[in-house]
Amino acid sequence: MDYSVLKQKIEGISPVPRLLTVMVVAYLIQALVSNPGLPSLPIALYLKETLNLSATDTTLIGIVAMLPWTIKPVWGVICDSFTVFGSQFRAYFALCYGFAAIALLSLVIVPTPGVAMLTISAVLVSCGIAFSDVVTDRLMVIEGRRTQQTAILQAAQWTAVSFGAALASWAGGWFAQGRSLAWVGGVTVGVLLIGGGVIWWALPNSAEPAIAPSLRQTLKTVKAEFKNRQILAILGFLVLLGFSPAPPFLYYARDTLKLSEQALGTLGAVSALSGGVGAIAFGFVAKRLPRKSLLVGAVGMNAMSVLGLLLARSPESAVLAFVLIGFTGMLATLGVLEIAAQVCSVTAAATSFALILSVSNLAMLLGGAIGAWLYDQQVSYESLVLLGVCCTGLTGFLIPWLKLEETP
C-alpha cells in the first residue's frame, strides 16, 4: 500500500471533517481507556470482592486515580507554552498515548495486582489521558473559533465519549465475569495504539502553529480571564452540577438490588448512551434554541432525574433513572461548556478551558467521596439522593450570572 498517496488524500480533505475525526477518536480513547475506561468496572469489583475493600476505600482509590484530571491546568500551561519537536499537537498525542500504554502493561504482566500497584498504574494512565484531553480541547477551542464550529466540535466530542463510555461499561461487565485483569489491560493497550495512529494521520497540518506563546504570556492571559465574572459563573455552575454527594450506586446496586456484573455494565452503558443522545440533541438545538431556555430546562429536568434515583428499586427502574440523568445532565453540561469555549482566550486556550474542567472534576470527586463516606456512616440512600437534588437545583440561581445575552 502506498502510504504517501493515502497521506495526500487525507490532507486534501476539508479541515472540519478531519477535526471531527480527531475529536471523535480522541474522546473515544478517553472513554475506553480512562474515563471511565474498560478496566474501571473489573478493577472496582476486584477491589470490592477480591480484596474486600469498603465503599470509602474503593472511592478514595478512585479519587487518587483521577487526581491527574483535577490538575489539567498544569498540562494546559505546558501545551500552551511549549512545542515538542516543533509540534503542539501530534507529538503531544504520541507522548500521551505511549505513556498510558506503558502504564497499562502492568495489568498484563501482573495478573493479580495489589492495591498499591493498581493505584499507581491508574494514576499514570490518567496522567497520559488527561494530558491528551487538554491537547484535544486546545485544538477544539483554537480551530473551533477559527471555523466557527465550537458547538459542533463539542457535540462530537461528548457524543463520542458517551458512546465510548457505553461500550466501556458493557465490555467492562463482560471482562469482569471471571476474566483476569490482563485481558482488559491488553485490549486497552490495543485501543491506544490504533486510535493514536488514526489521530496522527487525520490531524490537519494547519492546526500546528509555528510559534507558541511564552509561558509568561500564557499565565498573564489566564490570570486576566479568571477575573471575568462570566467565567466565575461558569465555574460555579459546573461545580454545583458536578458536586452531588449521592450514594455510591455500585454498592447499592450490588448489595441491595443484587445486580450481576453484566447487569452493572449494561446499566452504565444505557446511562452513557443517553448522554450520547443528549450530546447529539445539543448539536441540533445549539443554534436554534436560546441558551438561557436550554439551560433552565436542562437544570430542571436534571434535578427531577436525580430525584428519580429514589425510584431505583429494581433493575428496570434504575435504567429509567439513569437514562434521564444522562440525557439532561449532558444538555446542561454542554450548554455551559460551549459558552466557555467562546469566551476563553485563544492565547491560553488549553490552560483556561482545562482549569474550568479541572474545577468541575474536583467537585465531582469530592461529591463522590462525601457521598461514599456518608453511606458508610449509615446515612440513608434516600437522604443522599435528596442532597444531590439540592446541589443540582442550586445551579439554576447562577444562570442569570452567565450573561448569556452577551455571549458571542
Ranking 19-23, 46-50, 63-67, 208-212 by mean pLDDT, the lowest is 208-212
What's residue 291's pLDDT? 67
At 165, the pLDDT band (50, 70, 90 cuts) reads confident
Name the pLDDT band for 53 (thresholds 50, 70, 90).
Answer: confident
pTM score over 0.75:
no
Q: Sorting pLDDT into bands at 50, 70 and 90, what band is 199?
A: very high
Q: pLDDT by residue (tens digit) across 5-16?
A: 444 444 445 678
pLDDT in tens, 207-257: 555 555 666 777 777 777 777 777 777 778 777 777 777 667 777 777 777
Percent of the chain with pLDDT over 90: 13
Which residue's entry shows cell 428519580?
308
Q: Report whether pLDDT(406) > 80.
A: no
Question: Mean pLDDT across the chain, nearest whole number?
Answer: 79
Are residues 335 and 308 in contact, defined by beta-carbon separation less than 8 angstroms? no
Q: Record the cell numbers describing residue 192, joined without a space.
A: 491506544
Q: Is the pLDDT of residue 1 over 70?
A: no
pLDDT at residue 160 above 60? yes
CA 254 to chain centre: 25
Give the pLDDT confidence of 122-154 residue by residue, as tens digits.
999 999 999 999 999 888 888 888 887 877 888
Instruction: Give pLDDT, residue 2.
Output: 43
Segment 61-79, tens digit of pLDDT: 888 888 888 888 888 888 8
The pLDDT score that the predictor gives to residue 279 is 85
Q: Which neighbouring-strand residues pair with 87?
A: 84
Provide the grid cell at 310.
429514589
Kindly report the number of other CB atoms within 10 A of residue 250's CB atom. Answer: 21
pLDDT at 380: 81
CATH code, 12? 1.20.1250.20
Looking at 46-60, 86-100, 192-206, 300-314, which range is the least confident one? 300-314
Exposed (0-12), middle (13-18) or buried (19+): which is 189, by Cβ within 10 Å?
buried
pLDDT of residue 158: 83
Mean pLDDT check: name the lowest of 114-118, 133-137, 284-288.
284-288
- What is the domain range of residue 369? 3-406
- Residue 407: the pLDDT is 44
112: which 3 cell numbers? Answer: 493479580
Percent of the chain scored above 70 by pLDDT?
88
The count of structural domains within the chain is 1
Mean pLDDT across 43-48: 86
Q: How far apart are CA 37 and CA 167, in angstroms?
A: 9
Rounded to the nearest angstrom, the gap between the alpha carbon of residue 270 and the centroid of all alpha carbons in its chain is: 17
Helices 349-376 and 55-66 cross at an angle (nearest 10°) of 170
pLDDT at 309 over 60: yes
